[in-house]
């Protein structure tokens, strides 16, 4: 029986990392076939940089990209700070895996359902 490794990374650990460290950690794990679940997710800026980095690392027959699923980000901060553009967009729980193994079955703003293929 083939097994799939799933790494659930806590918010506490993510908060101690820089954006680049998070992206590198995710890509290194996903490229070895692991599924990564982030407790607090990525910010929208980090998500777009993750996609950008993924594109630079796609290789024929080795790595065709990622399946990444997150909920729409939450806008935080007071009304005044949001008016001033200082409210932060906080990422929510995110699941990321190799595109050839992870498939999204259904997704809405409250739930993400995915399937992981273990066979070749």
Partner 1 sequence: MGVFESLRMSLGIWLSRIFGKKRARIGIYGPPNAGKTTLANRIVKDWSGDGTLGTVSPVPHETRRAVRKEGLVINADGASIHLDIVDTPGMATKIDFREFMAYGMSEEEAKRRAKEATEGVIEAIKWLDDLDGVLLVMDSTEDPYTQVNVTVIGNMEARNLPLLIVANKIDLPNAAPSRIKAAFPQHPVVQISALEGKNLDELYHAIAVHFG
Residue 101 engages partner 1 in binding (rule: CB under 8 A)? no
DSSP helix/strand/coil, 62: coil
- Binding residue (CB under 8 A) for partner 1 from 20, 84, 113, 117: 84
H or E element at residue 27: helix 19-31
Q: Does 20 bind partner 1 (CB under 8 A)?
A: no
Residues 56/88, Cβ–Cβ less than 8 Å = no
Asked if 48 interacts with partner 1 (CB under 8 A), we say yes
User: Of the two residues 16 and 107, which places its CB atom closer to partner 1 in the complex?
Assistant: 107
36: its two tokens: 């990564």
Q: How many CA atoms lie within 13 A of 94 on its CB side?
A: 27
Which residue's entry shows tokens 């009304």?
Answer: 79
Is 103 a binding residue for partner 1 by CB under 8 A? The answer is: no
Q: Residue numbers of the site for partner 1 (CB under 8 A)?
A: 43-45, 47-48, 51-52, 54-56, 58, 60, 64-73, 75, 83-86, 88-89, 99-100, 107-109
């Amino acid at each position: 029986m083939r097994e799939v490794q799933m790494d659930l990374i806590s918010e506490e650990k993510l908060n101690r990392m820089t954006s680049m460290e998070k992206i590198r950690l995710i890509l290194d794990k996903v490229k070895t076939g692991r599924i990564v679940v982030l407790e607090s997710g990525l910010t929208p800026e980090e998500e777009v940089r993750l996609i950008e980095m993924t594109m630079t690392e796609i290789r024929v027959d080795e790595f065709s990209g990622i399946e990444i699923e997150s909920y729409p980000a939450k806008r935080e901060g007071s009304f005044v700070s949001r008016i001033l553009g200082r409210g932060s967009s906080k990422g929510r729980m995110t699941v990321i895996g190799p595109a050839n193994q992870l498939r999204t079955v259904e997704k809405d703003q409250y739930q993400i359902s995915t399937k992981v293929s273990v066979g070749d």
